[in-house]
Amino acid sequence: MGFARACSVALAGVEGVVVEVQADLEPGVAAFTLVGLPDKSLVESRDRVRAAVVNSGAEWPQKKLTVGLSPASVPKSGSGFDLAVACSVLGAAERIDPAAIADVVMIGELGLDGRVRPVRGVLPAVLAAAEAGYRQVVVPEQTAGEAALVPGVSVLGVRSLRQLIAVLGDEPVPDEPVADGGRPDPMLAGLMVPGAGIGTGLAAGGRGAGQPPDLTDVVGQTRARKALEVAAAGGHHLLLSGPPGAGKTMLAERLSGILPPLSRRESLEVTAVHSVAGILPPGEPLVTRAPYCAPHHSATMQSLVGGGNGLPRPGAVSLAHRGILFLDEAPEFSGRALDALRQPLESGHVVVARAAGVVRLPAGFLLVLAANPCPCGRHTLTGAGCECPPSAVRRYQARLSGPLLDRVDLRVEVEPVGRADLMGSGGRGESSAEVAARVRAARARAVERLAGTRWTANSQVPGHELRTRLTAAPGALMAAERDMERGLLTARGLDRVLRVAWTVADLRAADRPDASDIAVALELRTGIHRGALLKAGAS
């Protein structure tokens, strides 16, 4: 009787559990049994592994073979267990030393010819292995760069099972042919889910292929540009309302260009989500810029918060983690989809419960909403001929519910661009680089002030801290208190005004907010023009 074990990782969302793959050989009729809650793609690994072992020059044991995936109570899915199954079988057959693979985590799919194909979710799988104390990982060669992002782990990238057998047996490593340089590598097809990134803007906005558009392209819109700067500096959610053609989408697309680059920890979080979702491009193992996700208004609730067959997959709110979620034509989204955003807006994560299990996915994003004033869009334009009855206008604006809007810190009316601005006589505004420099300085001030806490941006600070420890200047809150008494502000709204005021103070390098900063925050919060925003020195 022969026995051997190797290790692999089962993923549930972006969290992983190390699975021990055990192989047991006993005398009897040749058979291959796989146990331990495998799904359909994992059950099919029996035929893939057998063919891969034989075509790699090794002998398949003609005995009763049982492969167990432990812990047996955890559901396992996907083809990433193939490599661990093959090595545990070869260890039980004494083709390789069982001790050499006992504490090695192996992730990869096997082709029938023995080639090792890459799979999605390598980064979160290696992170889970490292947290469990494992220090040796074998992955497909194409994803070795992604696995190497995890510190303290020795990564071996292999191209075929034949190469891995040689390395484990201390034998000469055979050369494997590389794909023809004139066409895409077919081995990389397993990393991308067809259609997963279409329409999200992730390829253009969240990665190094092409710079985001510049703010100098925007003419006029002084008030909206200032709101964009405040949103980027403090991580505040933003509502842009105005007639069609005023530049709402144009402004939202330029927000990613003034956000600070992701920290190392944030980059790993974003890369892990994108790797699981199958939208991480080959050759770009690390996402360094804030992602930009812009789903169409026909998106379902499941596509926004996560879902799918079996265990839920990341939705738009998770793909926009540490970045921007832009909902253009926000009132056209279904009410259920919009209200499903309430929980992640408050908590920074989303819990998706399905029949196959419950998954907790990261969802700390900056929400940007764009809305027209009425169905035809001409309600606020003088002499534009809006024919929408008042009841239709009220119904349209009510599609953005009060509880959702209460979670949006900044509300700005985007005015139509005048002829003078459009023809260039009004002058150009600041570039994204100039605004981004002020944003980085403001973020640095906030990080220094919040050192020793779990918060890194003003939008994350709880109201209790703002009212007790991080207080505004004496008498600064008088205007906000009056608005609260008049019913213009809720208790949550007051806390959000304080957060925005701290961001405005950070942008002007002040020690704490004064009455002018509160006035700017109130104008941005309520959308009522009070003149404070323009006096604050908008860019």
DSSP 136-176: EEEEEGGGHHHHTTSTT-EEEEESBHHHHHHHHTT-PPPP-
Separation between Cα atoms, residue 6 and residue 331, nearest integer Å = 52
Residue-wise over 371-381: b if at least 16 C-beta within 10 A, else e?
bbbbbbbbbbb
- By CB atoms closer than 10 A (0-12, 13-18, 19+), residue 19 is buried
**Chain segment 232-263, per-residue pLDDT in tens:** 999 999 999 988 888 899 999 999 999 999 99
Q: Count CB neighbours of 110 within 10 A.
A: 27
What mean pLDDT, rounded, does the chain reach? 87
Q: Which of 503, 508, 510 is nearest to 524 (CA)?
A: 503
Note the pLDDT of residue 539. Answer: 41
- DSSP helix/strand/coil, 26: strand
Taking a C-beta distance cutoff of 8 angstroms, is the pair 90, 96 a contact? Answer: yes
In this predicted model, which residue has the larger pLDDT, 311 or 228? 228
For residue range 415-446, list pLDDT tens digits in order: 887 766 667 655 567 899 999 999 999 999 99
Would the pLDDT of 70 be above 60? yes
Residue 493 is predicted with a pLDDT of 86
Q: What are phi and psi of 110, to 5 degrees?
A: -105, 135
Average pLDDT over residues 152-174: 94
The pLDDT > 70 percentage for the chain reads 89
Tokens of 215: 């703010």
Count Cβ neighbours within 10 Å for each residue of 429-461 and write b for 16 or more, e otherwise: bbbbeebbebbbebbebbeebbeeeebbbbbbb
Asked whether the CA dihedral 262, 268, 269, 270 is positive or negative, the reply is positive
Of 56, 55, 76, nearest to 67 (Cα)? 76
* Alpha carbon distance 413, 240 (integer Å): 6
Lowest mean pLDDT across 16-25, 186-195, 230-239, 461-470:
186-195
Tell whether the model's pLDDT for residue 155 goes beyond 70. Answer: yes
Q: Does the pLDDT at position 210 exceed 70?
A: no
Sheet strands side by side (includes 104-106): 31-35, 64-70, 15-26, 2-12, 104-106, 136-140, 154-158
Cα–Cα dist 409/124, whole Å: 33
Which two tokens mark 83? 């490599």
* Omega before residue 27 within 30° of 0, cis: no
Phi then psi dihedrals of residue 19, to 5 deg:
-110, 130
Query: Using CA atoms, how far apart are residues 76 and 36, in angstroms rounded to an integer?
Result: 8
Provide the Cα torsion 217, 223, 229, 231; round to 10°.
Answer: -120
User: So what's the pLDDT on residue 200?
Assistant: 47
Question: Confidence class of residue 322 from pLDDT cuts 50, 70 and 90?
Answer: very high
**203: burial class by Cβ within 10 Å (0-12, 13-18, 19+)?**
middle
Query: Who's near 118: CB < 8 A, 6+ residues apart?
Result: 108, 109, 139, 140, 142, 143, 187, 188, 190, 191
Q: How confident is the model at residue 535 (pLDDT cuts 50, 70, 90)?
A: low
The alpha helices in 237-387, defined as continuous H runs, are 248-253, 264-277, 301-305, 316-319, 335-339, 342-347
Confidence of residue 1 (pLDDT cuts 50, 70, 90): low
Distances (CA, A) of 436 to 14, 259, 442: 31, 6, 10
Tell me, what's the pLDDT at 183?
61
Residue 205 has pLDDT above 50, yes or no: no
106-132 pLDDT, tens per residue?
999 999 999 999 999 999 999 999 999
| Gyration radius (Cα) of the chain, Å | 28
Instruction: Give me the mean pLDDT over the 299-313 stretch.
Output: 83
Mean of the pLDDT values across residues 502-513?
A: 93
- Is residue 394 within 8 A of residue 508, CB to CB? The reply is no
Which residues fall within 8 angstroms of residue 12, CB to CB, at 6 or more apart? Answer: 75, 311, 357, 359
